[in-house]
Every structure is written in structure tokens, then in C-alpha cells.
Amino acid sequence: MDMASKNSSKSKLIGVVGVGSFGTAIANMLAEKNEVMVYARKQEVVDEINSSHTASGRVLNPSIRATFSPEELCDACDVLFFMIPSAAFVEVTQTFAPFLHPYHLVIHGTKGLALNLQKGETLETVTKLHRSQLMTMSEVILQETVAVRVGCLAGPNISKELSLGQPAATVIASKYNEVILEGQRLLRSERFQVYGNSDIIGVELSGVLKNIIAIAAGALAGLGLGENAKGLLISRGMVEMAHLSKALGGSVQSVMGLAGVGDLVTTCNSVDSRNFTVGYRLAKGESLDEIMQTMEEVAEGVNTIRIIDAFIKTVGIRAPITENLHRVLFEDLSIEEALQFLMKYPFSVDVDFV
């Protein structure tokens, strides 16, 4: 790229960091209306995109250019979409930090939590996990970089369906109207509706917490249970999400929205999702270790359950679905016993959070 176009503000590109399935889908949607540059860590992936317009076999819009230099991406773009798995999120953010400026708008699409612990501490060694020790992805960006105009993208967005151009919608959440408006301008199309929400923490948490319920949904399917059980799970799951979100600083309203209930229903029915698969295979009698060995990418929900379980034990609130899944995953409780426990749990009030 020549220097002239680099420095002129009019020709700024839109940046996408990460070319996994979701990153690719978003990059393609952005490329319909804008010039897009994507970042990939590996040279061979960059070469593959630039020469054959595919990323690990996924087709990319031919106008999309790729780079493995965070500096080049940050210079070329004012708006960046971070589409990376939560396990790599902190590291990638730190890689970008030296090149980000306060004028950058950063929107992420990652549904996970990160830990904010002292050097040498791990989830195993800390006895308590307070709110300040766990971070949503937007909190990671705010802590690690100078970018302040931060937003997130959440909702029922299965990459495969997006790639096929089927109708869908998403939520852009940010404290800044500017970020919401920019996200809408860039992504909205005839097939894609974009809602705005100012409660970024609530929206992020909705996306994070629904992964827990998705594992439970997989487990129910694995046990061969039917639609009644699923309805029960989705409804109780939503109550649990509302309480947890509130305890972590989100608002209950956001759980009711597209990123909460909307995504929850989709994920609980999507048999291909990693979280669903973990639950399904657990119910078929496999252990977590066995499942992990044969999965390419980590299911976000597993990590989320560990973190949330430590958090609820610290602050002394109850979240029966999360607690029991934790016992199944890490404490050798059988899935049948967990189900028994949940059926006997005194859920006497239907809705107690609104």
C-alpha cells in the first residue's frame, strides 16, 4: 500500500482481527460496503488470503487484503473488529496495544471472560474470585490499550448462516453512541439488522453466560430428553443468566434482548455448536478430558463455567445450573445425578428478577 492512501483519512479501511469462522463471516459482510483489511497471525494464512482469497478453506471476498503486521492494520484503519477466541484475546490485544491510539474504535465479537490476576496466580491458586478479578473482553481492551471507544457485537449469529446470506440480526453495544452508529453504518444490510444497546457489560455477559446453558442443552439432548425439558432449561437458564448478569454489573433488560434470549434459543437448538457438543458427549458418558482431546477449538462455555463457579462461591449467590455443570465437568458428578439434583432444587418462584 502506498503512503498517500495510508495518510489520507478518506481512504481508511475497516480492520478485522482474526479470520476464524465468525471473523471471516463479518469480514465478508463488511466488505460488501467497505474496503476491508484482515489480520492473521500466520504468514501462510496471510499469503493464502492475498493469493487465493480463502482463509483455512473459508472463502473471502476478493477485495479483502490481509496483513500479519498489527502496525500496518492499525495505521490503515480507524475502526477495528476484534474477532478472536477468548483464550487468545488478552495476548492479541497486548500485541495491538502499542499501535492503537485514542481515535481508534474497537468492536469485538468474543463471548468469553478473562482473568485479571496477580503474576503467578491462577484460578487454582486463588481462594476467592471477586468481580475485579474477572474481565469481560471490553474491559480487557480498556485495561490493555488506550482505546476508549469500545463496543461489542453479540447475538444469534451462526457463521454458517451468515455466510449463506440468510436473514439475521445482531446487537452492537457500547457506552458511546458514536460506536453504535458506526457499527450500524458498516454492517447493516437488507439481510442484516443491527440493534444498539448502551449496556455493554450486560450484552457481553449475556453472550458469555448463554454458553453455560448451551452445554446444558447439549446434555439434555444427549440424555435423549425432549422439548419440554428444553423449554424448562431455556426458561430457568434465562433466570440464572439474569441473576448472574446483575451480580456482575449488567442490567436485566439486556438478558431479555437479542444477545440474551435471542442467542440462548439459537444456541440451545444448534447441534453443531461446540458448547452443545460438549454437553451432548458428556451425557453420552465421555469425560471432559476425552472430549477436549478430540476438539480442535475450546468450547468457551467450559472456561466460563469454571470462572463463574469461582465467582458465585466468593460472593455467596446460587446459580444451580452452573454449579451442577461444574460438578459434572470437574468433580465427577454424573450427568443423571446433576439432573436429579436440579429437578429437586426448590425453584418455587417462576420469575423473580423483574
Q: Is 98 in the site for another protein (CB under 8 A)?
A: yes
Alpha-carbon torsion angle 194, 203, 222, 277, nearest 10: 70
Counting residues that bind another protein (by CB under 8 A) gives: 15
Rounded to whole angstroms, the Cα distance separating 72 from 46 reads 13
CA separation (Å) from 111 to 137, 260, 261, 275?
8, 12, 15, 12
| DSSP code string of 53-121 | SEETTEE--TT-EEES-HHHHHHHEEEEEE---HHHHHHHHHHHGGG--TT-EEEE----EEE---TT-
Nearer to another protein, 175 or 246 (CB): 175
Q: Out of 32, 35, 75, 78, which residue is the one contacting another protein (CB under 8 A)? A: 78
The Cα angle at residue 273 between residues 161 and 66, in degrees rounded to 5 = 60
Nearer to another protein, 12 or 306 (CB): 12
Binding characters for another protein, 10-49, by CB under 8 A (x = yes):
--x-------------------------------------
CA separation (Å) from 179 to 30, 85, 199, 218?
15, 22, 13, 35
Q: Out of 32, 50, 54, 97, which residue is the one contacting another protein (CB under 8 A)? A: 97
Please report, as residue ranges, which positions from 104 to 133 form the binding site for another protein (by CB under 8 A). none
CB of 199 to another protein, least distance (A): 13
Q: Out of 6, 33, 42, 101, which residue is the one contacting another protein (CB under 8 A)? A: 101
Active site (catalytic) residues: 210
Nearer to another protein, 7 or 340 (CB): 7
Tell me, what DSSP letter sits at residue 123?
Answer: T
Name every residue whose Cβ is closer than 8 Å to that of residue 61 and which is 6 or more positions away in sequence.
Answer: 27, 28, 31, 32, 36, 53
Q: Is 330 in the site for another protein (CB under 8 A)?
A: no
Nearer to another protein, 99 or 192 (CB): 99
| DSSP code string of 203-234 | HHHHHHHHHHHHHHHHHHHHTT--HHHHHHHH
Q: Out of 146, 164, 271, 292, which residue is the one contacting another protein (CB under 8 A)? A: 146
Q: Which range touches another protein (CB under 8 A), out of 14-22, 42-50, 98-106, 244-252? A: 98-106
Place of cell 433488560: 253
Element (H, E) at 326: helix 320-330
Q: Is 53 in the site for another protein (CB under 8 A)?
A: no
Nearer to another protein, 50 or 184 (CB): 184
Binding characters for another protein, 159-198, by CB under 8 A (x = yes):
----------------xxxx--------------------
Q: Out of 1, 103, 315, 334, which residue is the one contacting another protein (CB under 8 A)? A: 103
Tell me, what DSSP letter sits at residue 12?
Answer: P
Exposed (0-12), middle (13-18) or buried (19+): which is 74, by Cβ within 10 Å? buried
Nearer to another protein, 97 or 256 (CB): 97
Q: Out of 41, 149, 191, 327, which residue is the one contacting another protein (CB under 8 A)? A: 149
CB of 125 to another protein, least distance (A): 20
Nearer to another protein, 53 or 175 (CB): 175
The Cα angle at residue 297 between residues 294 and 299, in degrees rounded to 5 = 95
Write out the residues near another protein by the rule CB under 8 A.
9, 12, 78, 97-98, 101-103, 146, 148-149, 175-178
